[in-house]
């Protein structure tokens, strides 16, 4: 009897469970969520077969444990799950958007467990909760795996198989490269979009809403994301974000200076480079 233990039955965990049901990788799925109504909803939607109240006590009876909870809770959960699992070969994998701080916390509290496989599915939505769960959420999307030297190769192989079965394209990278690249391609754009919308709304006598069109809507779509989740992501990737933020501010000041000094040929060259860069960078981005 293969059993998936799912901790966190929201958008990511719920979507993975629905994909696993379809693929038949597990014979049963049991789930826990700190939010009792989300847990009940995920059982009602058929995301899990059974709701449990103590995931750590259940861990040794599972074939695999997926941790799909906010980033700042991952390291503590891994530590308690691994203590309960002991030497059993039960892969434990998470879905957090930041990897370095979780890995550092584990190294600083007893070392890297062999069963733990750090993964990050590059999929999401401004919607959240079990009602947003979708078995196709990971279809064609990348999942970054940041395995450590201590990671058990068998656990790693199985986690990769499950993500592939969920429709994902699995990519390996170091935690350092992962955290830098997601800062650049996701975390910093979120922070800019959030800051832009807050600034736009603050201290305006007129309401700019009637002038807002599809450009602003797309530019700021990520500012509709869950503030609690993003507070945690920003905090978890804080060191990398602060480094990169200064570089971005410098680039913005330089662009401002091109306009201020009427260096319009240089400004147009910037626009041309940006358009070409976007076409090149997003060639592989998901639709």
Distance between CA atoms of 112 and 145, rounded to whole angstroms? 15
Q: Which of residues 243-262 bind a second copy (CB under 8 A)?
A: 245-249, 251-253, 255-256, 259-260, 262
Report the distance separating Cα 211 and Cα 184, nearest Å: 29
Cβ proximity of 175 and 145 under 8 Å: no
Per CB under 8 A, contacts with a second copy among 19-78 are none
* Residue closer to a second copy, measured from CB, 40 or 197: 197
* Spatial separation of the C-alpha atoms in residues 38 and 70, rounded to whole Å: 15
Q: Please, which of residues 165-194 interact with a second copy by CB under 8 A?
A: 171, 177-178, 180-182, 184-186, 189-194
> Which of the stretches 27-35, 40-48, 50-58, 275-283 binds a second copy when contact is defined by CB under 8 A?
275-283
Write down the least CB distance from residue 258 to a second copy, Å: 9
Main-chain phi, psi angles of 276, to 5 degrees = -65, -40
- Minimum Å gap between C-beta 73 and a second copy is 15
Of the two residues 58 and 179, which places its CB atom closer to a second copy in the complex? Answer: 179
C-alpha separations of 243 from 246, 247, 281 in Å: 6, 7, 21
What is the total count of residues that contact a second copy (CB under 8 A)? 93
| Between 52 and 219, CB nearer to a second copy | 219
Select 64 or 188, whichever has its Cβ closest to a second copy.
188
Regarding 1 and contact with a second copy (CB under 8 A), the answer is no
Q: Which two tokens stand for residue 112?
A: 């890297």
Q: Are 6 and 34 in contact (CB under 8 A)?
A: no
Residue with tokens 């909870």: 69
CB of 50 to a second copy, least distance (A): 33
Site for a second copy in 102-141 (CB under 8 A): 122-124, 141
**Residues in region 189-218 near a second copy by CB under 8 A:** 189-202, 204, 206-218
Q: What CA–CA distance (Å, rounded) separates 92 from 81? A: 8
* Residue pointed to by tokens 């650049």: 184
Which residue's CB is nearer to a second copy, number 150 or number 286? 286
Q: Does 272 bind a second copy (CB under 8 A)?
A: yes
Residue 154 binding a second copy, by CB under 8 A:
no
Decide whether 58 or 94 has the Cβ nearer to a second copy.
94
DSSP-assigned states of every residue in 82-127: HHHHTTS---EEE--S--HHHHHHHHTTT---TTEEEEEE----S-
Which range binds a second copy by CB under 8 A, 44-52, 73-81, 98-106, 228-236? 228-236
Pairing type for strands 3-7 and 142-145 reads unpaired
Instruction: Report whether 190 contacts 230 (CB < 8 A).
Output: yes
242 near a second copy, judged by CB under 8 A: yes
Between CA 121 and CA 111 the distance in angstroms is: 24
Least distance in Å: CB of 56 to a second copy? Answer: 27
């Amino acid at each position: 009897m293969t059993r998936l233990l799912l901790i966190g039955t929201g958008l990511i965990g719920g979507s993975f469970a629905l994909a696993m049901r379809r693929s038949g990788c597990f014979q049963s799925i049991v789930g826990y969520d700190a939010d009792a109504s989300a847990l009940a909803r995920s059982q009602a939607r058929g995301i899990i077969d059974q709701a449990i109240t103590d995931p750590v006590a259940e861990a040794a009876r599972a074939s695999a444990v997926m941790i799909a909870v906010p980033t700042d809770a991952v390291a503590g959960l891994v530590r308690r799950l691994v203590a309960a699992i002991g030497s059993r070969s039960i892969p434990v994998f998470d879905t957090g958007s930041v990897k370095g701080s979780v890995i550092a916390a584990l190294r600083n509290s007893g070392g890297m467990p062999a069963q733990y496989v750090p993964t990050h599915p590059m999929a999401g939505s401004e919607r959240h909760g079990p009602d947003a769960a979708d078995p196709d959420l990971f279809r064609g999307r990348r999942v970054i795996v940041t395995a450590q030297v201590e990671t058990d190769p068998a656990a790693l192989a199985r986690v990769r198989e499950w993500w592939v079965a969920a429709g994902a394209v699995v990519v390996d990278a170091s935690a350092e490269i992962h955290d830098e690249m997601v800062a650049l391609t996701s975390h910093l754009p979120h922070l800019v979009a959030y800051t832009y919308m807050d600034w736009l709304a603050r201290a305006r006598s007129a309401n700019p809403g009637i002038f807002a069109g599809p450009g602003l809507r797309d530019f700021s779509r990520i500012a509709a994301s869950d503030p609690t989740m993003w507070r945690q992501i920003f905090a978890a990737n804080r060191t990398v974000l602060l480094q990169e933020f200064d570089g971005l501010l410098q680039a913005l000041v330089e662009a401002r200076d091109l306009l201020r000094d009427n260096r319009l040929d240089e400004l147009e060259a910037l626009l041309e480079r940006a358009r070409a860069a976007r076409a090149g960078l997003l060639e592989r981005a998901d639709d």
